[in-house]
Amino acid sequence: MADGPRKLVLCVIDAMASEMLERAIEAGTAPVLARLVRDGRYISDCVSAFPSVTPVCAASIVTGVAQDEHRIPGMNWYMREESRYVEYGSSFRAAQRFGFAQQLTDTIYNMNGAHLASGVPTVFETLDDAGVRTAGTTYLMYRGRFLHEPQRDNALSRVAATMLRHPVMGPRELFYADVFSSRRTGCRSGLGMPGLRDRHSACVSSYLVENDLFDFLLLSLPDNDWLSHKRGPEGQLQSLAQADLHLARVMNAAGGVDAFLARHAVVVMADHSQAPVGSKVSLQEVLAPLGVRGPGRSRAGEEQLGARIAVCPSQRAAMVYALEPSGRDAMRASVAGRALATDGVDLVMWLERDADDGPREGVIASAERGELRFSPGGPTRDGRGAQWSLSGALAAIEARVSDGVVDSASYPDALARCWAAISAPSSGDVLISAAPGWEFTDWGGQAHVGGGSHGSLHASDSLAPLILHGTAAAREPAQWAIRDVAALVREHFGA
């Protein structure tokens, strides 16, 4: 690519909040990010996916589409085809409930190899096909065109290889914890343990810069999310300073910030934000009278005795699946009624069809603000230009319509995000968004009370920063969303 566009680094700082980024810059603790913001294009309100949890968001970032196309619906979800829960790592105790081997298999192998829609290309696949040299550090979404075998060159990788024995398809250069490594770098991740992941990403990326091994690099810095869960959004003042140091290390490998930016375009973004959590509620207990399926596998594909629904908490969002298709409508009504009467529940959403399986209509319901019905196509536009038909209470999402445009400061891009969530074939029959300050306990009984969390439709955890330096969209959207970044990357390389 010597005669082509500048190299591009896409840096994803998990859960970075715009307010915390701006405060870190003002305090002088994030000088590299400050430089990128000062000299580049800064968007403070880039809209996340819904549920605004990392697997859904990561899939949207690397594919450029929402879950109605990419098929990754949540952190925890129910796979109807296999009659089982899928758990990507809500907590250590949740993984215990579902089995560590299955959780690791789903997260490392199945998420990319089976769950992510095969017909939707990732940026790695698109760029690989175009002859662009691709590279990625540890990130949930890595699917590319190059085969990578599990590593066994050190004690940690040999431990991992006892459970993770199969190759994967990834970018040309793939470094995934201590499991996959396309070449020896001397960098170790401690099997991807929180608190060590950013250091590993920076070490690998520095090696790639020094040895000129990429044209496109996805640099993942996930520890900000882990620390924010523990300490709340305020903890980002420290973790963003650390992320900035890791960025500086990568740039210093090229001779310093000026030298690096002379040869590299940079996109820095978050997949979602975080909001403080002061209370929790167990939807498993709330919905227990309806017959909740537990984490154990069914025998011979049969459902557990008396189980009629599967409950899937994803931090500040949740999905409920009806296990008996013939009773789906009645079960949906029962679930919605109980959820709307529960403290900590903000919104309940579902998709309705007419009796002949004809036109579909989405419903967003609030116990206090009423019910809004919507469907694609119609006279009302949203902030991104999509057309909608609306009826009922706009107050459900605290929206208003002005000059034919619907807008809600509290629930950004609500209609498109809700529609993608409720219409995705892998999503539940009912989706639930938590009220500000609340979180749904996972299957391990864990929540982040006293810390921070994300997942809801609310702006508090759905808006995040996006920084563009040295690259720009050919047609800038009226309202930026994380699903716009894949197109930006592809355009940069003319792919």
The whole-number pLDDT of residue 325 equals: 87
pLDDT in tens, 309-367: 999 999 999 999 999 988 899 999 999 999 999 999 999 999 997 655 667 899 999 99
Label each residue of the chain as H, E or C.
Answer: CCCCCCEEEEEEECCCCHHHHHHHHHHCCCHHHHHHHHHCEEEEEEECCCCCCHHHHHHHHHHCCCHHHHCCCCCEEEEHHHCEEEECCCCHHHHHHHCHHHHHHHHHHHHHHHHCCCCCCCHHHHHHHCCCCEEECCCCCCCCCEEECECCCCHHHHHHHCCCCCCEEECCEEEECCCEECCCCCCCCCCCCCCCHHHHHHHHHHHHHHCCCCCEEEEEECHHHHHHHHHCHHHHHHHHHHHHHHHHHHHHCCCCHHHHHHHEEEEEECCCCCEEEEEEECHHHHCHHHCECCCCCCHHHCCCCCCCEEEEEECCEEEEEECCHHHHHHHHHHHHHHHHCCCCEEEEEEEEECCCCCCEEEEEEECCCEEEEEEEEEEEECCCCCEEEEEECHHHHCCEEECCEEECCCCCCHHHHHHHHHHCCCCCCEEEEECCEEEECCCCCCCCCCCEECCCCCHHHHEEEEEEECCCCCCCCCCCEHHHHHHHHHHHCCC
The whole-number pLDDT of residue 357 equals: 63
pLDDT in tens, 172-190: 999 999 889 999 998 988 7
Its CATH class, for the domain covering 7-72+116-274+457-492, is alpha beta
- Segments of the chain scoring below 50 in pLDDT: 1, 155-157, 300-302
Structural domain boundaries in the chain: 7-72+116-274+457-492, 277-449
The whole-number pLDDT of residue 454 equals: 98
The whole-number pLDDT of residue 364 equals: 98
